[in-house]
Amino acid sequence: MGDQPASWSEEVWRDQLINFCQRLVCTPSLSGQEEAVAALIRAEMERLGYDDVWVDQVGNVMGMIHGAGGPTVMLNCHMDQVDIGDATRWSHAPFGGDIKDGVIWGRGASDTKGAIATQVYAVGLMKATGCQFPGDVYVTCVVHEETGSWGTKFLLNHLKTAVAILGEATANQIACGHRGRTEVIVHLQGRATHASTASHETNLLFALAVFLQHVGSLSLPKDTTLGPAALTPTRCYTDQESGNMTPGQVWLHLDWRSLPGDKPADLLDMLHDILEKSCPPGVTGTAELLAKNVRSYTGMTTSLPTSAPGYLLDETHSLVSSARRILEKHLRRPVRVAPWNFTTDGGYLTEAGIPTIGFSPCEEQYAHTTQDQVCIELMLEAVQGTIALVAELPRYLSVAS
């Protein structure tokens, strides 16, 4: 498939890797607008000689190389990026792909285009140089991660592998899980009144204050590795713009950081119990998951709840311990294992029976910021580490099973 480079010297693949990452960063790809970057990835996979490359109905780009029948491996990154915000706050053009001080600058570099480049090239380099693949390897670049993980959810309808390696930011350490995230809207309804005749009983803002006091006094569980669950009010607005009227409706957004095994339905039940205690006669309250209507660049549409499960693999889990041994052997340094501070698609993959770790050159401190960047030296190390994981993990897993 395609014309592979005549020479795969380190200088050649290094330059092509960097150039590919720059082209990814220079290609805007907001959620639902990933078509151009998807075409770029597909063309690069084909040029690198993947056995099969295709795009599914929702727009995910899939590249596969056949192995020798051992456990299958999925490499997973998302193609979409968040908006750049105020362009004047950037020290480098957000879609410039500039190289300075050993890093590639631009929106999406750390979330997750730097990792896309290293995953695509690690597998392509293995194929081109005749490395053996113990099991089939899939490189999956998904859509709509930022708006509810539609790409990975859809992917799981037609692809299951033994393990997955996620390209979310780890600075070439290993991530083993994270808390879940759910966004809930609490809605209070009552009767708007003139401020001159309002009372505590008719003013929804007092009912909201009681509700918030109950939420603030909750005793939420804590995990020794992931930390505490958290229920945080983030936004509040009413239907009233006049300064001398009380509102007839109030909306409150809650961000719930959950622990593995926590269920959104249980949270909603708890919130409805609190609402019953908080609402006086004449005031009603509901709580429901926030949902977003989204459209893929292929034309498909769906509604996605803003809810992602948490998960955690213990350091003794065969995937985690094997990956650590492999990386420490090949990278010749200690490798730290820790959870992400943010939520990823790993919870969905793990729920589907695919144990998942993170390994990526991207760095969390730069994601979603105006300093978005990926370090070239970390990318080069990530290629080395990804090759080692793809080549050796299936053998470790076969022994463990």
- All structural domains of the chain, each given as residue ranges with its CATH number in brackets, are 10-178+310-400 (3.40.630.10), 180-293 (3.30.70.360)
In this predicted structure, what is the pLDDT of residue 399? Answer: 62
CA–CA separation, 119 and 122 (whole Å) = 5
Residues 6+ apart with CB under 8 A from 271: 184, 186, 254, 287
In this predicted structure, what is the pLDDT of residue 396? Answer: 79
Average pLDDT, the chain: 94
pTM for this prediction: 0.93
In this predicted structure, the answer to whether residue 1 has a pLDDT above a threshold of 60 is: no
Burial code (b: 16+ CB inside 10 Å, e: under 16) for 254-286 equals bbbbbbbebebeebbeebeebbeebbeeebebe
Q: How is residue 98 written in tokens?
A: 């500039």
In this predicted structure, what is the pLDDT of residue 200? Answer: 82
In this predicted structure, what is the pLDDT of residue 12? Answer: 84
Percent of the chain with pLDDT over 90: 91
In this predicted structure, what is the pLDDT of residue 7? Answer: 52
In this predicted structure, what is the pLDDT of residue 190? Answer: 94
Contact 155, 75 (CB under 8 A): no
Q: What is the pLDDT of residues 63-72, one digit of tens each?
A: 999 999 999 9
Q: Which residues make beta-bridge pairs with 165?
A: 75, 357
In this predicted structure, the answer to whether residue 11 has a pLDDT above a threshold of 90 is: no
Mean pLDDT of 282-297: 95
CA dist 318 → 80, 175, 325, 397 (Å): 31, 14, 10, 7
In this predicted structure, what is the pLDDT of residue 278? Answer: 93
Length of the chain: 401
Burial class for 86, CB neighbours closer than 10 Å (0-12, 13-18, 19+): exposed
Which among 315, 313, 324 has a CA at the least distance from the CA of 393?
Answer: 324
CA 47 to chain centre: 27
In this predicted structure, what is the pLDDT of residue 6? Answer: 42
Q: What is the pLDDT of residues 154-193, one digit of tens each?
A: 999 999 999 999 999 999 999 999 999 999 999 999 999 9
In this predicted structure, what is the pLDDT of residue 180? Answer: 97
Q: What is the pLDDT of residues 115-151, one digit of tens each?
A: 999 999 999 999 999 998 999 999 999 999 999 999 9
In this predicted structure, the answer to whether residue 57 has a pLDDT above a threshold of 60 is: yes
CA–CA separation, 320 and 252 (whole Å) = 39
Q: What is the pLDDT of residues 252-287, one digit of tens each?
A: 999 999 999 999 999 999 999 999 999 999 999 999
Q: Which residues make beta-bridge pairs with 190?
A: none
Which among 211, 205, 275 has a CA at the least distance from the CA of 245?
Answer: 205
Mean pLDDT of 94-103: 97
Contact 337, 141 (CB under 8 A): no
In this predicted structure, the answer to whether residue 242 has a pLDDT above a threshold of 70 is: yes
Helix (H, G, I), strand (E, B) or coil at 158: coil
CA–CA separation, 86 and 98 (whole Å) = 18
- pLDDT-based confidence at residue 199 (cuts at 50, 70, 90): confident
Mean pLDDT of 370-378: 98
In this predicted structure, what is the pLDDT of residue 401? Answer: 54
* Among the ranges given (3-17, 20-34, 335-349, 373-387), the one the predictor scored with the smallest mean pLDDT: 3-17
Q: Which amino acid is at 210?
A: V
In this predicted structure, the answer to whether residue 5 has a pLDDT above a threshold of 70 is: no
Residues 6+ apart with CB under 8 A from 338: 173, 174, 175, 176
In this predicted structure, the answer to whether residue 400 has a pLDDT above a threshold of 90 is: no
